[in-house]
Amino acid sequence: MDWHFRSRSQQCNECETAFEDEQPYHTILFRGMESLERRDICPGCWDKNHKAEPGKTDGYISHWQGVYEVPPPPPPEAIQKDNAETLLKKMIEQNDPEHTEACFILAVMLERKRVIKNKDQVRQEDGKRMLIYEHTKNGDVFTILDPALKLTNLGQVQAKVSNLLEHGLNPQTETLPEEESADGSTEDKADAPAQEPEAATATANEH
């Protein structure tokens, strides 16, 4: 699957005129050679080239109209802890089928908070539903596969998502070898609990 972010262009992809703040534009989402692609188009080019038949683009999936906003300055580097948004982006970039369900839950969470917006959904050849989302502020577009979660699995997936939010996507399991000083002082490490090798194997007794 083509799980990639496609950021919004800052100019029309056809006439290359830069977008201005708060101007309307159109997006066509289509299947490119290898992945999902988008084309952002100014109203002039839209009227001229697409309006009559938006679906004639090769590999056409969907289209919509948006309003361009000048992107905000990037957040300060200091903020490193993952939130639902950064976590979802990382997981989409990793493109690991193991995260399909977690991605879906995060997308639902973010949609509820209106951080992202569902633009369309497409039924794939295999019958699965692909949801197309757009970030409401920066216009990033990405797809999420609907894992058709069963209610009975929901709690488990939600627990996994909470765990990811708390500990990050790839927690460093390899800690640096403990430096024991030559004189054998052990004051710091006495009570460190043994690392649980696989949290998932623990049976869920807690609520």
Which residues sit at the interface with Zn ion, rule CB under 5 A? 12, 14-15, 42, 45
In this complex, which beta carbon is closest to Zn ion, that of residue 43 or of residue 168? 43
Q: How far apart are CA 165 and CA 158, in angstroms?
A: 10
**Choice between 14 and 111, CB closer to Zn ion:** 14
Q: How far is the CB of 62 from Zn ion (least distance, A)?
A: 20
Query: Could you tell me the smallest distance in angstroms from the CB atom of residue 94 to Zn ion?
Result: 34
Give the CA radius of gyration of the chain: 22
**CB of 20 vs Zn ion, minimal distance in Å:** 12
Asked if 89 and 83 touch (Cβ cutoff 8 Å), the reply is no
Bridge partners, residue 25, by sequence: 66
The smaller minimum CB distance to Zn ion, of residues 49 and 163, is found at 49
Least distance in angstroms from the C-beta of 44 to Zn ion: 5
Nearer to Zn ion by C-beta: 47 or 96? 47
* Residue (24 or 97) nearer to Zn ion, CB: 24
* Cβ at position 99, least distance to Zn ion in Å: 37
Least distance (Å) between residue 40 CB and Zn ion? 9
Nearer to Zn ion, 19 or 142 (CB): 19
Annotate the chain with DSSP letters as a single string: -----BPPPSB-TTT-PBP-TT-EEEEEEEE-SSSEEEEEE-HHHIIIIITT-GGGSTTEEEEEEEE--PPPPPPPTT--S--HHHHHHHHHHHT-GGGHHHHHHHHHHHHHTTSEEEEEEEE-TTS-EEEEEEETTT--EEEEE-----HHHHHHHHHHHHHHHHH-SS----PPPP---TT---TTTTTPPPPPS-GGGS-----
